[in-house]
Structure 1
């Protein structure tokens, strides 16, 4: 993806001065794993971009579901000047905190809109947030003294993990906690999620799972290396299409029939609902006779549970229980 070399916006002088006042220095490439507001700068390399935070941000803006929910899970709503772009409703346990944060736009805000709230940190789940259809490239924000962060899972192809794991999600939570000086909150959250995953995956026997994301003619399925594969691995099941490259990949229904999955994950999204997927399977001449379809062995997961973040554990729990793990 090409980003503009630079960009200019017209904004009130007071806003620009506020932004320039928070200018951060360039740091080394050691990942941050601990946090303390008094411990000095936090230096890390994020998606190939060196980032040094000289002090915990006070006016952060989040874009995308996972970034927003990680901030709320760490109790950082009081440090948020705004948020944007949800795919689903915020988890119920964070709803009250989320209600206190200004929503800047339904999708990505304009650069001008973002400048209006004078952010000192912009955190997104996907690199596209800083693309031509987003708020402008990271280098432009750095020139204004605004630090940025992108989820490792959402980095460009050459800088994201070769195969996403829950440890990558936990590393992101630790990074954000370090940046805001709340490291102990991250460790509490991570310990709880690790324990929940270990408990629910006990008894899972590697059942074959088809992760159906979208598409009727050529189904897009969970492939080897992204969020779906990470969730399936954590749940202890076998990914039916683990040999396909990428996070998602297209296959054929003939291949699905040949592989005969034990359980089918139906991703529920506003543009392609789980109910529509289920109806398609049960009316298709070849698919309706699959044991998983005849026995209605479905696990419905929200689209947002695929993005690296705090709700991945909910997807792991639902999937493990759906195949007969502890607590099913």
Structure 2
């Protein structure tokens, strides 16, 4: 179990965050996902491609710098509604390159490399560079990961929680709001420690789980969390084993294979988007309880099904709320059944 290590990490990072933040010295040059990005001043106009970056900027109080957002899984959190009001949503999913550059951004913050990257469906970083538009990719999706293998990339090493703190710190440097980043990171670290403490006395050493994100169709193999990604980190942090062993971020695995593994818990994603039928978590629940293979799984028979927002399963500020929800749910189950 990773509990002592995670508590130590959270405590250590929390102690570091109390140091006085130095103001940004421009020009600021950052190494980001293999690219050098230079900022002559704090960007006055920014576009986000990915909800994680959007809500990260909101959490830093930078909503007034956003002129466009895109790629949403869930509705905006209530505490960010005021900042979100009036900001144009360029697309619910990936936007067009033209719509992004049409907002004349000085920065494009990107959650996922398959959107802006070597084979980006929106553009490459070089296309933005040619227009002198800086790009910032979330390190959580590019470090120790090959995004050219598998539908959503393949992890070469396990996801690191530090990558979220790094994004917050670097975005704050770009906009010269470092003290806000220190406060936010300290809050997130405290939330992580609280989640770990919630299950500290729960015997979870022999438990396992499957995380079902979505499915292109309910009658085909589901997209589930691989064993080195963000949901895997969440499970391991709380002492639960992920039954999926693939290094892919979101591999598709057959229900017969899943049923044979017979996970103790099922975690399913709730979304407000509707790209696939299984984006609707109610349809997931109906399937699990009616399909002849899934309805006989222990997690279904004993209703050990936990619903989390899809963004809580991403490298985002919501992940910490998701961890708290997951820890509370795990702690509430009677595993003697």
TM-score, normalised to structure 1's length?
Answer: 0.80
Q: Aligned in 2, Cα 1:133/1:190: closer, same or farther, shift over 3 Å?
A: closer
SS at match of 1:128: coil
Aligned mate of 1:264, from 258, 266, 275: 266
Which whole-Å CA distance do the structure 2 matches of 1:201 and 1:166 have between them?
A: 14
SS at match of 2:172: helix
SS at match of 1:211: strand
Aligned mate of 2:76, from 90, 104, 116: 90
Which whole-Å CA distance do the structure 2 matches of 1:314 and 1:186 have between them?
A: 18
Which whole-Å CA distance do the structure 2 matches of 1:110 and 1:171 have between them?
A: 28
Contact preservation (8 Å) 2:140, 2:160: no
Aligned mate of 1:175, from 155, 170, 176: 170
Which whole-Å CA distance do the structure 2 matches of 1:220 and 1:143 have between them?
A: 36
Which whole-Å CA distance do the structure 1 matches of 2:24 and 2:214 have between them?
A: 47
SS at match of 1:109: coil
> Which has more radius of gyration?
1
Question: Match for residue 249 of structure 1?
Answer: 251
Q: Aligned in 2, Cα 1:81/1:232: closer, same or farther, shift over 3 Å?
A: same
Decide which moves more: 34-43 or 309-318. 34-43
Which whole-Å CA distance do the structure 1 matches of 2:191 and 2:182 have between them?
A: 14
Which whole-Å CA distance do the structure 1 matches of 2:47 and 2:252 have between them?
A: 34
Question: Match for residue 28 of structure 1?
Answer: none
Question: Match for residue 323 of structure 1?
Answer: 330
**Displacement of 1:93:** 0.8
Aligned mate of 2:281, from 274, 285, 288: 274
> Does 2:195 match 1:209?
no
Contact preservation (8 Å) 1:129, 1:135: yes
Task: Output the aligned Cα RMSD.
Answer: 2.6
Alignment gaps of 5+ in structure 2: 1-19, 148-154
> Does 2:227 match 1:227?
no
Q: Aligned in 2, Cα 1:62/1:289: closer, same or farther, shift over 3 Å?
A: same
Alignment gaps of 5+ in structure 1: 1-33
Question: Match for residue 237 of structure 1?
Answer: 240
Decide which moves more: 128-137 or 289-298. 128-137
Contact preservation (8 Å) 1:36, 1:178: no
1:145-176 Cα shifts (integer Å, max 9, x gaps): 21101112333844877221221111111111
How many residues end up aligned between the 2 structures? 293
Question: Match for residue 7 of structure 2?
Answer: none
Question: Match for residue 292 of structure 1?
Answer: 299
Q: Aligned in 2, Cα 1:128/1:245: closer, same or farther, shift over 3 Å?
A: closer
Contact preservation (8 Å) 2:226, 2:250: yes
Q: Aligned in 2, Cα 1:141/1:253: closer, same or farther, shift over 3 Å?
A: closer
1:57-72 superposed matches below 5 A: 57-72=43-58
